[in-house]
Amino acid sequence: MSQAGNYGQAETTVVVPANWRPPFALHFYVSADYVADDYRVPKGSLLGTECYIGHRFDQVLIDDKIVWQRDVGDRGPSSIAVNITPYVHPGDSFRLAIRVVDKVGTDVVLPRDFKLIGPVEAAEKPDDPRRFRTNVWVGRYRHS
């Protein structure tokens, strides 16, 4: 079960070259294998489905400040550009972190949550904790 505050993170220290001038942008791509939408498979269907919107988020942090975030279930564009000019300065270093965080645990049922496991109602026990797995990929764009 996911719990609020759980996260996975990768970070590095970045030095902005002293001769660079603003504006500064961070260009990257992000993709996840978890996609959620409001389509609800009808009861009795052979298909199972689940939706947890508002629980888990991708984030980019600069020196522990969130500068970008998106729900992992969002089907938004995978190519992202974030203006980081307010957070970095030529000649200075900063800590850049990529995080996947559970802001709301699956023990809390949000208004858009649903889960259906195939046509057999008994497949899901009422006391089973809700959980979902998410694999996230992040990469950088190399500009020439």
Q: What is the pLDDT along the chain (144 residues), one digit of tens a residue?
A: 688 999 999 999 999 999 999 999 999 988 888 777 666 677 677 776 778 889 999 999 999 999 999 998 887 778 899 999 999 999 999 999 999 999 999 888 888 887 776 655 545 566 666 777 788 888 876 654
pLDDT value, residue 18 = 97
pLDDT value, residue 89 = 97
pTM for this prediction: 0.82
CA quadruple 60, 67, 18, 95: dihedral sign: negative
pLDDT value, residue 32 = 83
Triad 27, 95, 142: Cα angle to 5°: 25
Overall CATH class of domain 7-140: mainly beta
pLDDT value, residue 144 = 43
Would you state the structure tokens that stand for residue 86, as one six-digit string?
A: 């307010």
pLDDT value, residue 119 = 59
DSSP state of 3: -
Exposure string of 111-138, with b = 16+ CB inside 10 Å and e = fewer, is eebbebeeeeeeeeeeeeebebebebeb
Name residues whose C-beta falls within 8 Å of residue 139's C-beta, 6 or more positions apart in sequence: 28, 29
C-alpha–C-alpha distance, residues 123 and 107, integer Å: 19
E strands present in 65-143: 65-71, 79-83, 93-102, 114-116, 136-140
pLDDT value, residue 15 = 96
pLDDT value, residue 76 = 75
Would you state the structure tokens that stand for residue 72, as one six-digit string?
A: 């992992």
C-alpha–C-alpha distance, residues 100 and 113, integer Å: 19
